[in-house]
Amino acid sequence: MDFPIFHLDFFGNRFLIAAIASLHVVINHMLAVGAMPLVAFLEYRGIQSGDRRWDDLAYRILFVCFIVTTTLGALTGVGIWLSTSLVNPHAIGSLIRVFFWAWFAEWTVFVTEVVLIVAYTLSWKTAWAKQNKKKHLGLGIALAIASWATMAIIVAVLGFQMDTGVWTVEPGFWTAVLNPIYLPQLMFRTPFALVTAALFALMLTGFYTKHDPEFRGRAVRTISAWALVFTAPWLIGALSYWKAIPARMLENVPTALTSLAFGDFLDPLKFIIAGSVLLVAVFCIWGVTAPRRLPTVLLIIPVLLAIWQLSYFERVREFIRKPDVIEAYMYSNALRPADYPLYAEDGLLKHATYTPVRTVTDENRLVAGREMFRLSCSRCHTTHGLNGVVEKFGTMYGWQEWDPAAVRTYLATMHNMRPFMPPAPGTAEEQSALADYLISLRDDPATLDGAQTSGAPNRIR
Partner 1 sequence: MESIANWPLPLDIPLPLPADSVLLQALLVFLFLWHILFVNLMVGGSLITMAFEILGRRRPDFDVLARSIAGTITVNKSLAVVMGVGPLLGINVLYTIHFYTANALTGAAWMSLVPLVTLAFLITYAHKYSWDRLAHAKGLHISLGLAGTALFLVIPLIFLTNINLMLFPGRWLDVDGFLSALWLPNVWPRYFHFLTASVAISGLFLLFFFLRSGSDITDKLETMDRAYLRRLFYSIALGASGLQLLFGPLVLISLPAQGMSWYLIGVISLGVVLALTAMTFMWREIVSPKPHPMRRATLVFTLITLTAFAMGYGRHVYRESALQEHRALMAAHTQEVGWQAAAAQWRDATGQTLVRVPLGQKIFEGTCAACHALDKVLVGPSVQEIAGIYGENPGGIVTWTQNPGRKREGFTQMPAFKLGEEKLQAVAGYMIELGVPEELGAPEEAVDEG
Which stretches of the chain bind partner 1, using CB under 8 A? 1-6, 16, 20, 67, 70-72, 74-76, 78-79, 81-83, 85-86, 89-90, 92-94, 96-98, 100-101, 103-104, 107, 110-111, 114-115, 118, 122, 171, 173, 338-342, 344-346, 351, 353-354, 358-359, 450-456, 458-459
Q: How far is the CB of 108 from partner 1 (least distance, A)?
A: 8
SS3 readout for 215-281: HHHHHHHHHHHHHHHCHHHHHHHHHHHHHHCCHHHHCCHHHHHCCHHHHHHHHHHHHHHHHHHHHHH
Name the minimum Å distance from CB 451 to partner 1.
Answer: 5
Q: Is the distance from CB of 199 to CB of 306 less than 8 angstroms?
A: yes
330 with 90: CB under 8 angstroms?
A: yes
Query: Facing residues of 388 across strands?
Result: 382
Residue 76 or 276: which CB sits closer to partner 1? Answer: 76
For residues 267 and 345, which CB has a smaller minimum distance to partner 1 in the complex? 345
Angstrom distance (rounded) from CA 8 to CA 448: 8
The packing angle between helices 133-162 and 182-208, to 10°, is 140
Q: Is the CA virtual torsion 250, 422, 94, 319 positive or negative? A: positive
Question: Residue 92 or residue 407: which is nearer to partner 1 going by CB?
Answer: 92
Whether residue 149 contacts residue 191, with contact meaning beta carbons closer than 8 Å, is answered with no
> For the chain, how big is the Rg over CA atoms in Å?
25
For residues 35 and 219, which CB has a smaller minimum distance to partner 1 in the complex? 35
Q: At closest approach, how far in Å is the CB of 380 from partner 1? A: 17
Pair 381, 372: CB distance under 8 Å: no
Contact 227, 202 (CB under 8 A): yes
Shortest Cβ distance from residue 346 to partner 1 (Å)?
A: 8
Nearer CB in complex with partner 1: 87/201: 87
SS3 132: coil
Q: How far is the CB of 85 from partner 1 (least distance, A)?
A: 5
Smallest separation, CB 454 to partner 1 (Å)? 5
Nearer to partner 1, 104 or 262 (CB): 104
Q: Nearer to partner 1 by C-beta: 75 or 253? A: 75
Residue closer to partner 1 (CB basis): 56 or 391: 56
Q: Closest approach of Cβ 68 to partner 1, in Å? A: 9
Nearer to partner 1, 67 or 396 (CB): 67
Give least dist CB 150 to partner 1, A. Answer: 11
Pairing of the two strands 330-331 and 324-326: antiparallel
Contacts of 90 (CB under 8 A, 6+ apart): 1, 2, 3, 330, 334
Report, in Å, the least distance between residue 461 CB and partner 1: 14
Q: What is the rounded distance in angstroms from the CA atom of residue 417 to the CA atom of residue 168?
A: 26
Give the alpha-carbon dihedral of 233, 235, 240, 242, to 10 degrees.
150
Q: State the nearest-atom distance from the C-beta of 171 to partner 1, in Å.
A: 8
Q: CA torsion 211→212→215→218, rounded to 10°?
A: 60
By beta-carbon proximity to partner 1, the closer residue of 34 and 457 is 457
Query: How many angstroms separate the CA atoms of 126 and 304, rounded?
Result: 35
